[in-house]
Amino acid sequence: MRNYLPSILLIAVFVIVWEVGARIVNTEFILPAPSGIGLKLWDLKGLLLKEHLTSTLLIIVIGLAISIVLGIALAITMTQSSVMEKTFYPIIITSQTIPIIALAPIFVLWFGYSIWSKVVVTILITFFPITVSTYDGLRSSSKELKELLLTMGASKKDIFFKLDVPSAIPYFFSGMKVAVPLSVIGAAIGEWLGAQEGLGYFSRRMMTQFDGAGVFAPIVILSLLGIIFFLIVIMFEKKALKWRK
């Protein structure tokens, strides 16, 4: 905790300046004070946490789960077959130049206001870091260790499970640390464009009502959500990589 003291202090200073500034400007609908946001959060806690958070959380969890399964499967396929690698790798890289956020309305067109239009945005945005990092990880295994395993009479399967997979795990977690905050963004954007519930949807609705504090309140929850997910990834990472000091 001591390590974070400077950051905590800086944030505290920032919040105080904001509070004072907001009181001087005194236009709550444009620049709400942190205290105002806090009060709003408290007022709306039931609605935000029960209804909107559940909906957003579901999108994030389903989207991430599909991304992980798809990303790992594609990464493994590409390392096992050079035809697959040559086919998919360039496509995956160039797919990142497509503005996924701009595509989101298409998904609303296709999937309507159902959860899937949001899940698709989340998958598209998180799929890339997971796939590429896992793929790089699987290919990062040491050639010397591979030869050593071969001299022990190892099969292809042995090399994959005893060498390639453990070598890929640190890379996979790096990918997850990028993907998890992105998943929150993906869900929120998806909700802006076509939803009837969710924290992103609620924030946008409050904007149309000129309720500054109402815009910020769900964003605070979204950030906390991102932080919690990130901490969960770090917890798993520490557990999986306890050999790393």
Least distance (Å) from another protein to the CB of residue 81? Answer: 23
Under the criterion CB under 8 A, does residue 147 sit at the interface with another protein?
A: yes
Least distance (Å) from another protein to the CB of residue 243? Answer: 4
Among residues 103, 148, 227, 235, which is the contact residue for another protein, using CB under 8 A? 148
Query: In sequence order, what DSSP letters do the residues of the chain get, joined into one string?
Result: -GGGHHHHHHHHHHHHHHHHHHHHH--TTTS--HHHHHHHHHHHHIIIIIIIIHHHHHHHHHHHHHHHHHHHHHHHHHHH-HHHHHHHHHHHHHHTTS-HHHHHHHHHHHHTTSHHHHHHHHHHHHHHHHHHHHHHHHHTS-HHHHHHHHHTT--HHHHIIIIIHHHHHHHHHHHHHHHHHHHHHHHHHHHHHS-SSSHHHHHHHHHHTT-HHHHHHHHHHHHHHHHHHHHHHHHHHHHHTTT--
Which residue, 94 or 151, has its beta carbon nearer to another protein? Answer: 151
Least distance (Å) from another protein to the CB of residue 174? Answer: 16
- Which x/- pattern, by CB under 8 A, does the window 159-178 give for another protein? ---xx--x--x---------
Under the criterion CB under 8 A, does residue 142 sit at the interface with another protein?
A: yes
**Binding window for another protein (CB under 8 A); candidates: 4-12, 20-28, 31-39, 152-160:** 152-160
Under the criterion CB under 8 A, does residue 15 sit at the interface with another protein?
A: no
Total residues in contact with another protein, by rule CB under 8 A: 21
Which residue, 91 or 144, has its beta carbon nearer to another protein? Answer: 144
Binding site for another protein (CB under 8 A): 142, 144-145, 147-155, 158, 162-163, 166, 169, 241, 243-245
